[in-house]
Amino acid sequence: MTPSPRALTAAALLVAALAACAAPADHARPAASRTEAAADRPASPPGLPGMPPVLDPEDVYAADRAGKLAPAVKDFPSRVYVPNTNSNTVSVIDPATYKVVETIPVGNQPQHVVPSWDLKTLWVNNDLGDSLTAIDPATGKAGRTLDVSDPYNLYFTPNGKYAVVMASMDRELVFRDPQTMKVAKTVPVNCAGVNHADFSADGRYFIVSCEFSGELLKVDTEKMEVIGEQKLPKEGAMPQDVKLSPDGSAFYIADMMADGMWVLDGKAFTTPKLLPTGKGAHGLYVSRDSRQMYITNRGEGSVSVFDFGKDELTGKWHLPDGGSPDMGGVSADGKVLWLSGRYDAEVYAIDTGSGKQLARIPVGSGPHGLAVYPQPGRYSLGHTGVFR
């Protein structure tokens, strides 16, 4: 049969895409001063209807403390699920032994493994296969596969009402039923390569990165409308992962061509400032105590460490023998950072206390958005595991 125009476009851009490309913080200040500061602040507008209330206004990740597993996931076996984009498989790693214990065949070009909003399902995003494959994290077995066009990445609104498919080649944000994936609303976008996102503290809007046109979008969650768009102030910018600061005041956007991360005031949506981190900055992961963020520098085989309180980089970990650290997540106890080696058919386990490599594990070809599961948190916003 004759390939569709989208399939031809996807094939043409695939090479470029692979080359280009988831307890309250009392340490921040004394309890008394925090109470006084809260009293001085104007009342916050109500959050997105139906969204679980924020546990701590100073820390959106307060529910993500080490070992704080939700009842729905506490009995799930600890595993690392690795989508291999070129092998069309998911490698399942037992983190206790650093061994692949199972290889699951899935659809064409799996990009990310995404925990559902209710934490009960892992969705494999088969981008060129135009489908989502469900994995039961209780058993580690694959289940149903649903037809979904161009699911490069997948997110969930903070109230659990919609799944949001990042349809990169289709140039759409597609709001769907989070269980059946039936389309609720399709939102065309002007930028190219929508791929990553994160939500504001109140859930009322989210910021989206557009990889191929070097742009950012601001989207109204409830209205399901783009309400802001801007071009990043660097020629050839290629924004990737997006992450909200613990206090909700800023968004960080990794940019693999700018070799750093942009710091954006999401509310004002003014021009962001660039903080250099390393060559090929790609993934962003918050520590279990919300004090630090790990930034993967895929082009130089390193991980930069950013301190939220100091608002500065405080370290850099280099992988021995190099590598291509890409996407991943932090273990439930916060002690290990797991990352895919995109161009090296391997996965890295890194000690978050020392920055030392614990293991390099061979997997399939083109490992990308791996999910460490289960992780602490009340619900999932998607990607490789953004929990609140």
Decide: pTM greater than 0.85.
yes
Phi, psi of 244 (to 5 degrees): -80, 145
The residue among 116, 89, 112, 90 whose CA lies nearest residue 21 is 112
Burial environment of residue 308 by CB neighbours within 10 A (0 to 12, 13 to 18, 19 or more): buried
Q: Can you give the pLDDT of all 388 residues of the chain as single tens digits? A: 444 444 444 444 443 444 444 333 333 333 333 334 334 444 455 799 999 999 999 999 999 999 999 999 999 999 999 999 999 999 999 999 999 999 999 999 999 999 999 999 999 999 999 999 999 999 999 999 999 999 999 999 999 999 999 999 999 999 999 999 999 999 999 999 999 999 999 999 999 999 999 999 999 999 999 999 999 999 999 999 999 999 999 999 999 999 999 999 999 999 999 999 999 999 999 999 999 999 999 999 999 999 999 999 999 999 999 999 999 999 999 999 999 999 999 999 999 999 999 999 999 999 999 999 999 999 999 999 999 9
The residue among 241, 158, 243 whose CA lies nearest residue 204 is 158
Q: Residue 67: which region, alpha, beta or left (left: phi > 0; alpha: psi -120 to 50)?
A: left
Reading the block at residue 383, the tokens are 């990607």
DSSP string, 248-301: SS-EEEEETTTTEEEEE-TTTT---EEEE--TTEEEEEE-TTSSEEEEEETTTT
Burial environment of residue 105 by CB neighbours within 10 A (0 to 12, 13 to 18, 19 or more): exposed
Reading the block at residue 352, the tokens are 């978050």
Number of helices and strands (H, E) in the chain? 2, 28
How many angstroms separate the CA atoms of 112 and 103, rounded? 15
